Chain A
């Protein structure tokens, strides 16, 4: 089933958007939809943009076997990631552990992202969850409250976010199978998806031939990589999303976020739900209105976008 949610704050006067307690708000929205997906929860949060790059990565999975040298190996691999960042000319600001196996690194780097990401992911067990100037992806097993507590997301302030609660149907219950997916190697682009894609293998082979990497067997990862490829071809986010309606088969409602935008696309049968609330101070959307009401506690006007609709908002 899965539940998806998105929120983008809008200022009354400024066109720059405004910050809010986006970690807390997204947790409330996702927790209200816990019945749609109890397996894992994920966040793509946008903090205040800075000139530092922020990279979220993991070196193991919560379900991995804890052998005798588990923590030593993690420590060794973390140092290896730092060494490789330094070797490519990144000036590391700090690297901190966010959980037993997930980390957040900030650094200065002006080169291309793909060689850096490829080099880091070559470290055993390493997967980059997100990389960008403001995007931070956090995902783990359990409910929104569990993940928010583990990663201390209540204090996260930012401009917009998307989130996902997952009921695994076609692939494993692990962090690699959890949403959101970063559009590797594009800075600050992430996707969450509710549905099933029926031409997954077709697109996976196509995109792999173009040099893209896949971390999971999850069909939703296709959307992130597809959008990344289309943007590499020079398309705008909105045009790429419109093209996806013809290229992707199956049933889907998906959300995409960039450093400044939040977009939604629905398949031609409108098979998967989405409720939209648009106000002067925010746009909130979710699989169920109950999630929106978790952050706007009053009677509101909402509507369901129709089939083949693509909508994009800027902060």
Chain B
């Protein structure tokens, strides 16, 4: 597939004066968008136009072609189905949408999502759900390394395996991993919980195993019911060992800065 040529201005901004192409087919509150011939910026402008101007609440995007930065910065409740695969930074910086991707995604999907749902049917690259703040991020296949790095809330669910340093520096939120986790699980995590159904290659710095409580099982059961996923028989729970917690050594004014 040849990508459409894109004009870049002196500052390096792609198509700074572009407007929505308005090529989507709208039927009532639903719309269908063929992305094959559109640049990344035009696809995102078209989505904004549909959702904010045309009152559309459900969009199907066809032929995304594994391109980067698709469906980013959407700050409204809506349903989007992406028929195919995305590249890097898909569905980043969103607040509200429910997005279903039928293919796979590259690195950093749903980065910094505030709320909403992103479901990916196949595999995902590294840095999945980086700095996630809220909402549910579901990957039915395998994911790469550093899943949920710097996660600050929300839930990441992985049907398959994860790579190394899963939950690296996570600060809040949950990760539910059905398969195996790579080396350095939960390295330098501050808080939050990681549930693993399969084998753990090794634990990272200051990550310890904790006891599963009925509340943990209830949460996992509820999430798996929502997304129609098969629950592994047994989960192990991993949390922060709090050995690296040194906040109390700080002056109150400094503590404010850190937190």
Interface residues of A, Cβ cutoff 8 Å to B:
28, 32, 268-271, 273, 275, 288-290, 292-294, 297, 299-304, 306-307
Cβ-closest chain B residue relative to A307: B164
List chain A residues, Cβ under 8 A from B88: 288
Distance (whole angstroms) from the CB of A26 to the closest CB of chain B? 15
Q: Do B87 and A270 have beta carbons less than 8 Å apart? A: no
Distance (whole angstroms) from the CB of B37 to the closest CB of chain A? 13
Query: Is B30 on the interface with A (CB-CB < 8 A)?
Result: no
Distance (whole angstroms) from the CB of A294 to the closest CB of chain B? 6
**CA gap between A268 and B165 in the complex, in Å:** 11
Interface string of B8-46 (1 = CB under 8 A from A): 000000000000000000000000000000000000000
Docked complex: B223-242 residues within 8 A CB-CB of A = none
Q: Do A306 and B145 have beta carbons less than 8 Å apart? A: yes
**CA gap between A304 and B88 in the complex, in Å:** 13
Count of residues in B whose CB is under 8 Å from the partner chain:
28
**CA gap between A299 and B1 in the complex, in Å:** 12
Cβ-closest chain B residue relative to A292: B66
With A289-B106, A297-B1, A304-B144 already in contact, the answer to whether A273 and B125 are too (CB < 8 A) is: yes
**CA gap between A288 and B144 in the complex, in Å:** 13
Q: Do A299 and B84 have beta carbons less than 8 Å apart? A: yes
Distance (whole angstroms) from the CB of A37 to the closest CB of chain B? 15
With A288-B88, A290-B87 already in contact, the answer to whether A306 and B144 are too (CB < 8 A) is: yes
With A289-B66, A290-B68 already in contact, the answer to whether A304 and B84 are too (CB < 8 A) is: no
Distance (whole angstroms) from the CB of B1 to the closest CB of chain A? 5
Q: Which of A273, A289, A297, A300 has the most CB of B within 10 A?
A: A289
Cβ-closest chain B residue relative to A294: B1
Q: Do B85 and A269 have beta carbons less than 8 Å apart? A: no
**CA gap between A307 and B2 in the complex, in Å:** 32
List chain A residues, Cβ under 8 A from B142: 303-304
Q: Do A302 and B104 have beta carbons less than 8 Å apart? A: yes
**CA gap between A271 and B88 in the complex, in Å:** 15
Q: Which of A299, A300, A301 has the most CB of B within 10 A?
A: A299
Q: Do B106 and A307 have beta carbons less than 8 Å apart? A: no
List chain B residues, Cβ under 8 A from A302: 85, 104, 123
